[in-house]
């Protein structure tokens, strides 16, 4: 099925130092986001940033860079509260989450936990909208591909990639070249699989409800439930407004259909009336 879109919305997620901010700059074709690799994560306030550009085919590309996950002294709840604001910055929700990991470092449980946290907070449907991007492609052994590199990786990483439909790309952020095109092709492929639909606040709300019965992944966070409730109420209101907009759009469309149908069906009546009036 071929679909057309006027806008592509991406949200970058990953640890500090993964190269996600540099990836965002390459996607936008300019330096929009500041890299945190040379800064202490303990001094950084978790916050998201948004940039946009127009692609050569006229499509508007929106890229949102998120705070680094699992690399800061800030509470996990506060980080993910900011992630929700990042989704708000992507307007109605991202078409694709780019999960950014770095080649050249041994995979640790922290990488696995980072993705599990994302699934925990955003729900199982999160992986339907996910693409794995590995930065530091120049660190691969000569002649080696990202698939060959991952073949020797931890089982859990490979299992998570399979959950995302095996969508993987690698990039050298210093000299991206044609790798950007490969990433955008994966993005469009993901959008086509999802029939152009995007991740919605409704899906997040469902994830919040689902995880209420699960043991928390965050220890010693006494305000977690209160904050979850506040976020949930905010997102439910956003969902209500989105639904209201959709209903109004549908009503306008139905009104137009009825008007067009009436005009079409009334033609023979008008013809007969005019015939007998002459």
Q: Would you say residue 29 has pLDDT above 50?
A: yes
The residue ranking higher by pLDDT, 207 or 15, is 15
The residue count of the chain comes to: 278
What pLDDT was estimated at residue 77? 66
Q: Taking the complete model, does pTM exceed 0.85, yes or no?
A: no
* Confidence band of 253 (pLDDT split at 50, 70, 90): low
How much is the mean pLDDT over the chain? 75
Q: What is the pLDDT of residues 107-165, one digit of tens each?
A: 777 778 778 878 877 888 899 999 999 998 887 777 788 888 888 777 888 899 999 99
Position 119 scores a pLDDT of 83
Q: What is the model's pLDDT at position 185?
A: 95
Q: Which CATH superfamily is domain 7-214 in?
A: P-loop containing nucleotide triphosphate hydrolases (3.40.50.300)
With a cut of 70, say whether residue 42 has pLDDT above it.
no
Residue 265 confidence (pLDDT): 52
Looking up tokens 């901010």, which residue turns up? 21
The residue that leads in pLDDT, 139 or 14, is: 14
Tell me the helices (H) and strands (E) count for the chain, helix number first.
8, 6
- 8-state DSSP, 47: -
* Long-range contacts, stretch 23-30, CB < 8 angstroms, 24+ apart: 23/98, 23/100, 23/133, 23/135, 23/171, 23/173, 24/51, 24/63, 24/65, 26/171, 26/173, 26/176, 26/180, 27/61, 27/63, 27/180, 27/183, 27/184, 28/52, 28/53, 28/61, 28/63, 29/53
Q: What pLDDT is attached to residue 214?
A: 53
| Between 261 and 143, residue with greater pLDDT | 143
Highest mean pLDDT, choosing among 65-79, 93-107, 142-156, 217-231: 93-107
**Domains of the chain by residue range:** 7-214
Amino acid 204: pLDDT: 64
Under DSSP, is residue 195 helix (H, G, I), strand (E, B) or coil? coil
**pLDDT grade, residue 106 (50/70/90)?**
low
* Statement: residue 177 has pLDDT above 60: yes
| The predicted structure's pLDDT at residue 100 | 94
pLDDT of residue 43: 41
Tell how strand 49-54 and strand 60-65 pair up: antiparallel
Arithmetic mean of pLDDT, 189-213: 76
- Burial letters for 103-112: b for 16+ Cβ neighbours within 10 Å, e otherwise? beeeeeeebb
Burial class (CB in 10 A: 0-12, 13-18, 19+), 14: buried
């Amino acid at each position: 099925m071929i679909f057309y879109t006027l806008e592509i919305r991406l949200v970058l997620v990953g640890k500090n130092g993964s190269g996600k901010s540099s990836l965002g700059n390459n996607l936008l074709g300019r330096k929009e986001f500041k890299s945190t690799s040379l800064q202490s994560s303990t001094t950084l306030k978790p916050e998201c940033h948004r940039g946009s550009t127009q692609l050569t085919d006229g499509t508007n590309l929106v890229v949102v860079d998120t705070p680094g996950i699992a690399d800061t002294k800030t509470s996990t709840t506060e980080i993910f509260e900011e992630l929700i604001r990042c989704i708000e910055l992507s307007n109605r929700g991202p078409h694709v989450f780019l999960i950014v990991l770095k080649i050249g470092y041994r995979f640790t449980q922290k990488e696995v936990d980072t993705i599990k946290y994302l699934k925990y907070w955003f729900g199982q449907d999160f992986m339907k909208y996910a693409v794995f991007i590995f930065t530091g492609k120049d660190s691969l052994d000569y002649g080696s591909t990202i698939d060959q590199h991952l073949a020797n990786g931890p089982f859990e990483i490979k299992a998570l990639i399979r959950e995302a439909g095996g969508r993987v790309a690698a990039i050298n952020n210093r000299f991206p070249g044609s790798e950007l095109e490969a990433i955008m092709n994966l993005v469009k492929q993901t959008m086509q699989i999802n029939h152009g639909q995007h991740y919605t606040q409704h899906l997040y709300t469902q994830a919040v409800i689902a995880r209420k019965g699960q043991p928390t992944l965050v220890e010693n966070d006494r305000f977690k439930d209160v904050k979850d409730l506040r976020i949930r109420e905010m997102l439910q209101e956003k969902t209500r407004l989105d639904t209201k907009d959709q209903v109004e759009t549908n009503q306008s469309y139905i009104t137009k259909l009825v008007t067009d149908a009436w005009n079409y069906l009334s033609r023979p009546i008008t013809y007969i009336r005019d015939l007998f009036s002459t």
